[in-house]
Amino acid sequence: MMGPFCNEPMTDFSLADNRRLLETALDDIKKTYGQLYPLLIGGREIVPENMKHSINPARHGETLGVVAQADRKRAAESVDIAAAAFEHWKRVDPAARARTLYKAAALLRRRKHEFSAWLVAEAGKTWVEADGDTAEAIDFLEYYGREAERLCVPQPLVRIPGEDNEWTYVPLGVGIVIPPWNFPLAIMAGMTASAVVAGNTVVLKPASATPVVAARFVRLMHEAGLPEDVIQFVPGSGGEIGDVLIDHPLTRFVSFTGSMEVGLRIVERAARLQPGQRWIKRVIAELGGKDAIVVDRDADLAAASLGIVQSAFGYAGQKCSACSRAIIHADVYEEVTERVTALTKRLTIGDPALHGTDVGPVIDRAAYNKIRQYVTAGKQQGRLLTGGGMDDGAGYFVEPTIIADVDSQASLAQDEIFGPVLACIRADDFGHALAIANDTPYGLTGAVYSNRRERLELARDLFHVGNLYFNRKCTGALVGVHPFGGFNLSGTDSKAGGPDYLIQFMQGKVVSERM
C-alpha cells in the first residue's frame, strides 16, 4: 500500500542545474529523431505500408518520427486482440495492477526531462508547460493507482442477519482510448492508465499530431511490467479508423477527449447496437470550452489582468481551459484592457526549445489556417488591441491577439478557436457579465475576479461551469486538487483526477449468499 497521494513538484528552471538537465535532454532526443514507430497489437510490432511523419510545429521541416498508420483491418484486429487479452488481465490482482502504475510513475519521474523534451519538440510546448504536462502524467499514474486500491476491494454495505453480501467493482472490457494532442502525455497517460488499472484492456489511438510521445509512453508502461497485450498502440487517422474502433461489437467503452464535433459523433455511433454486441457502450467524453474570466469593478485589476494573460496565452491558447473571453465590468473595462494589452506585448514568441520563450507555435497547418480565419473575422468584429501577426515560414507562429469590444454573440465570442486569440467583452454590470459568461454551448472552466463576497457567492451559484475559479487564473488544474471536467457540451463532466473518475471504467457487482 502506498502512502497518500501528493502532487509532483514543478521543476525550478531559475536554477542553472535544472536548465542544464532539460537542455541536455533536448540535445539527446535529437539522436533518435526520425525513428520508426510501428503499430503494437498483441505485443507484436507491425509495420504497414502507410506511414506518417510526426513533425516539430516550431520547425515544420524537422521530422521527429515516422509513425505507422493502421488501416481499418488492423483497427478491427486490435479490438479482437484486446478482447482476448481482457480474459487474463481482468483476473490480475488490482493491487498488482496499481503497482505497475507506481512503477511507471517512478520511471517517468527518473526520465522526466527526456519526456518533457519530446513535448517541447512534438507539441511545441515551452519548458514550463512541458514540465507541467510531465508532472501531471506522473500525478495521474500515482493517483489512479491509489484509486484502484481504494475501489477494487469490497465496498461498505448495510449488514442483515442470515446473509453475506459483497459489493465489488469489476472491469468493463475493451476500451477505445482517443486522446487529444494538447496534453499529449498527461491526458493520454491518464486516460490509458485509468482504464488499464481498473482491469480493462485498451486500444490507444493517439492524436495524429503527437504519436511519438504516446509511443514512448507505451514502451515505458511495458518497462514497468505491463503485459504487452494490454495496450494496443494503434495510430492512424481518426477519420479513417475511428468508426471501426467505435462500432466494433467487442468495444465496451470509449474514453474520448477532444473537440465537441468529434465527441458528439462518437456518442451517436456508440449508441447504435451492432450485430453481436451484448452491452450498452459507455462513452466518457471530455470536450471543448469557450472559457471566460469575469472581472468585477472592484477586483484587484493587476491580478485579474495577469490571470487573463496567463490563461489566454499559456501554450498559445491551446488548452481546453484557456480563457478566450475576458468579460469586464464597464467601469473598469478601459483600464483592464490596457493592462492586459501591455502585459501581452511583453510576451516572447518563438522557439519553445529556448528557455525564456513564453509562447511557442500552434500545433499544425490546419490549426494555423483556422486561427487565421478567426483573426481576420475578429478584426471586423471588434477593435484589434495587439497581435494579429502570423508567420508560417519556419513553424506555425501566431502572435497573441486581443480584440476588444466584441459582441457576445459574435463568432469570436462563441466558437472555440483553440489558439492565442482573446475576445474582450464589455458588461453593463456583474449580473450581465455572468449572463454573458453562461451564454455559449460550453461549460468547462471560468474565473471571477472580485473583492465582494456577495458577488463571489452569486457566481458560485450561477456561473455554470465544471471548474470555477475565484481570484485566480482558469487554467492549471491539479490532479486530486481540482478534479477536472465540464458541463453542457463540454462533455460528460467525467472529472479527471477526481474520486469519481475510475468508477466510470468499472461496474459494481453484488453477490448475496444465504448463510
Q: Is 223 a catalytic residue?
A: no
* CA distances to 33, 108, 276, 299, 384 from 120, in Å: 13, 16, 44, 36, 30
Contact flag: residue 286 with ligand NAD (CB under 6 A): yes
Contact flag: residue 491 with ligand NAD (CB under 6 A): yes
Q: Taking the complex as a whole, how short is the minimal distance between the CB of residue 4 and ligand NAD, in angstroms?
A: 25
Report the site for ligand NAD in 91-130 (rule: CB under 6 A): none
Q: Taking the complex as a whole, how short is the minimal distance between the CB of residue 427 and ligand NAD, in angstroms?
A: 24
Contact flag: residue 498 with ligand NAD (CB under 6 A): no
C-beta closer to ligand NAD: residue 133 or 416: 416
Q: How far apart are CA 195 and CA 494, in angstroms?
A: 13
Q: Taking the complex as a whole, how short is the minimal distance between the CB of residue 166 and ligand NAD, in angstroms?
A: 35
DSSP states of 226-293 as a string?
--TTSEEE----HHHHHHHHHH-TTEEEEEEES-HHHHHHHHHHHTSPPTT--SPPEEEEE----EEE
C-beta closer to ligand NAD: residue 187 or 340: 187
Q: Is the dihedral of CA 193, 195, 200, 203 positive or negative?
A: negative
Burial of 159 (0-12, 13-18, 19+ CB in 10 A): exposed
Report the site for ligand NAD in 388-447 (rule: CB under 6 A): 416, 418, 444
* Residue pair 383/405 in contact by the 8 Å Cβ criterion: yes
Can you tell me which of 320, 362, 406, 433 binds ligand NAD, judged by CB under 6 A?
A: 320
* Residue pair 422/405 in contact by the 8 Å Cβ criterion: no
Question: Residue 492, Cβ neighbours under 10 Å: how many?
Answer: 18
Which residues, listed in sequence order, are joined to residue 421 by a DSSP beta bridge? Answer: 401
Q: How far apart are CA 39 and CA 262, in angstroms?
A: 23
Q: Which of 172, 206, 209 is nearest to 192 (CA)?
A: 206
Q: Taking the complex as a whole, how short is the minimal distance between the CB of residue 493 and ligand NAD, in angstroms?
A: 9
Contact flag: residue 258 with ligand NAD (CB under 6 A): yes
124 dihedral zone (left: phi>0; alpha: psi -120 to 50; beta):
left
Q: Taking the complex as a whole, how short is the minimal distance between the CB of residue 240 and ligand NAD, in angstroms?
A: 9
C-beta closer to ligand NAD: residue 400 or 486: 486
Can you tell me which of 242, 382, 395, 483 binds ligand NAD, judged by CB under 6 A?
A: 242
Q: Which residue stretch of 23-31, 134-142, 147-155, 262-270 sits at the interface with ligand NAD (rule: CB under 6 A)? A: 262-270
C-beta closer to ligand NAD: residue 234 or 304: 234
* Residue pair 487/443 in contact by the 8 Å Cβ criterion: yes
Contact flag: residue 305 with ligand NAD (CB under 6 A): no
Q: How far apart are CA 367 and CA 272, in angstroms?
A: 32
Phi, psi of 163 (to 5 degrees): -140, 145
Q: Which residue stretch of 12-20, 178-186, 294-302, 502-510 sits at the interface with ligand NAD (rule: CB under 6 A)? A: 178-186
Contact flag: residue 295 with ligand NAD (CB under 6 A): no
C-beta closer to ligand NAD: residue 259 or 507: 259
C-beta closer to ligand NAD: residue 400 or 491: 491
Can you tell me which of 124, 190, 289, 443 binds ligand NAD, judged by CB under 6 A?
A: 289
State the helix-helix crossing angle for 211-223 and 186-197, rounded to 10 degrees: 40
Contact flag: residue 190 with ligand NAD (CB under 6 A): no
* Residue pair 442/460 in contact by the 8 Å Cβ criterion: no
Give the per-residue contact string, 60-89, with ligand NAD (x = CB under 6 A; - = no): ------------------------------
Can you tell me which of 70, 119, 231, 262 binds ligand NAD, judged by CB under 6 A?
A: 262
Contact flag: residue 8 with ligand NAD (CB under 6 A): no
Out of 320, 323, 424, 474, the active site residue is: 320
Contact flag: residue 208 with ligand NAD (CB under 6 A): yes
Q: Is 286 a catalytic residue?
A: yes
Amino acid at 431: G
Q: How far apart are CA 46 and CA 61, in angstroms?
A: 27
59-68 and 51-56 beta bridge pairing: antiparallel
Out of 8, 77, 142, 286, the active site residue is: 286
Q: Which residue stretch of 2-10, 87-95, 152-160, 257-265 sits at the interface with ligand NAD (rule: CB under 6 A)? A: 257-265
Amino acid at 351: D
Q: Taking the complex as a whole, how short is the minimal distance between the CB of residue 466 and ligand NAD, in angstroms?
A: 8
Contact flag: residue 371 with ligand NAD (CB under 6 A): no
Can you tell me which of 314, 420, 486, 498 binds ligand NAD, judged by CB under 6 A?
A: 486
* CA distances to 40, 141, 212, 224 from 219, in Å: 10, 15, 11, 9
Active site amino acids: 286, 320
Binding site for ligand NAD (CB under 6 A): 178-183, 187, 205, 207-208, 238-239, 242, 257-259, 262, 265-266, 286-289, 320, 416, 418, 444, 484, 486, 490-491
